[in-house]
Amino acid sequence: MRTKAYSSPDHYVQKVLPKLMELGVVRIAPFSNRLAQSVPSNIQALRCLVNYEALRFAEPIRVLADDMVVRMMKRSSLAGGKYVSVHLRFEEVGMMLRGMGFDNTTFLYVASGKIYNAAKYMAPLGQMFPLLQTKDTLALSEELAKFEGYSSRLAALDYTICVQSEVFVTTQGGNFPHFLMGHRRYLLGGNAKTIKPDKRKLVLSFDDPNIRWSRFKHHMLEILHHSDIRGIAFRKPNDSIYTFPMPDCMCQQDGI
C-alpha cells in the first residue's frame, strides 16, 4: 500500500487500518519516513517500542548474528567480553582511536561493506589493532555464503554485533549509525557510549603536516571527553526519534 511520506496518525487510522482489518497484513511502500515526525508523545513512545522491540531481523540473520556476538565476546574474554565496534569510512580512524587511548590490546570489531583492495587499506589498522575482527574472521565462509550479494543482510550482521559492543565509534552519517545509536540508547536507558567525532576538527588535525603526536593526542582526547560528558542525549526538535528516543520513548517505564 503506497503512503505519502510523513503522513499523520489520522491517515493511518482512516486509510490503513481498514485495509489491515480486512487483509490481516499490510505492507507500506516505500517503508521509510511514512509517519510524521511531530506526533503526540504516546505515539512517539509506541513508535520507539515497535522499532526496537517488535521489529526483528529474519531468523537466518538473527541466528548467525547472535552466534557471531558470542564468538566476539569469547575472543575478547581477556577484556571481560567487552569490545569496541567501528563503522569504518576513512583509514585514519586507527590514528584517531590510538590518540584517544585505545591501545593494541583493544578488541576491535570493524563494520563495513566491501572495501576496495582491503588487504592494502586495512593493513595499517590491523597493525595498530592486531586483535581486530570482522564478519569474515567471526563467521565461516560457508556461513556467510547465503548472505553474499545481499548488502542489507550483511549490514544486519554488522548491526547486531555493534549493538552489543561496549563502545560504538562512527565516522559517517546515514541510517546505519543513526538507528544504531538510537537502539543502543534505548537498550541502555540513554547512557550508551558512542564516539561520533566532529569531522571538521578531525580534518584540521589530520591535514596539519607539522602537528606533533602530543598535540594530536590532546585533540583526540578532547573529542573523547566531549563524548563522555554528554550523558543522556535528549532529542532536539529536528532530530529523529530513531536516533534520539529520549525522552519520548518511555515505553518500558510506562508499561505501554
Query: Which pLDDT band holds residue 255 (cuts at 50, 70, 90)?
Result: very low
Flag whether 101 is in a domain. yes
Backbone phi and psi for residue 133, each to the nearest 5 degrees, phi listed first: -130, 155
pLDDT at 248: 55
Report pLDDT for 215.
93
**Pair (19, 128) in one structural domain:** no
Per the structure, the count of domains in the chain is 2
Computed on alpha carbons and rounded to an integer, the radius of gyration of the chain in Å comes to: 20
Domain final residue, candidates 40, 56, 72: 56
The closest of 85, 101, 92, 94 to 224, measured between CA atoms, is: 101
Pull the grid cell for residue 65. 548474528
Which structural domain range is residue 196 located in? 59-228
| pLDDT cut 90: percent of the chain above it | 38
User: Are residues 117 and 13 part of one domain?
Assistant: no
> What CA–CA distance (Å, rounded) separates 173 from 153?
19
* Residue 148 CA: distances (Å) to CA of 1, 24, 157, 167: 30, 33, 12, 28
Cβ–Cβ < 8 Å for 169, 88 = no
Could you report the per-residue pLDDT of 83-139, keeping only the tens digit for each? 999 886 656 788 899 999 999 999 999 998 777 677 777 888 888 999 999 999 999
Torsion on CA atoms 103, 144, 147, 77, rounded to nearest 10? -40
Pick the more confident residue, 174 or 95.
95
Q: How many helices (H) and strands (E) does the chain have?
A: 13, 4
Q: What is the mean pLDDT of residues 30-53?
A: 80
Cell of 145: 555464503
- Percent of residues, the chain, with pLDDT higher than 70: 87
Reported pTM: 0.80
Q: Is the pLDDT of residue 229 over 60?
A: no
Q: Please check whether residues 118 and 196 belong to one and the same domain.
A: yes
CB atoms within 10 A of CB 93: 21
Is 67 part of any domain? yes
Residue 71 has pLDDT above 70, yes or no: yes
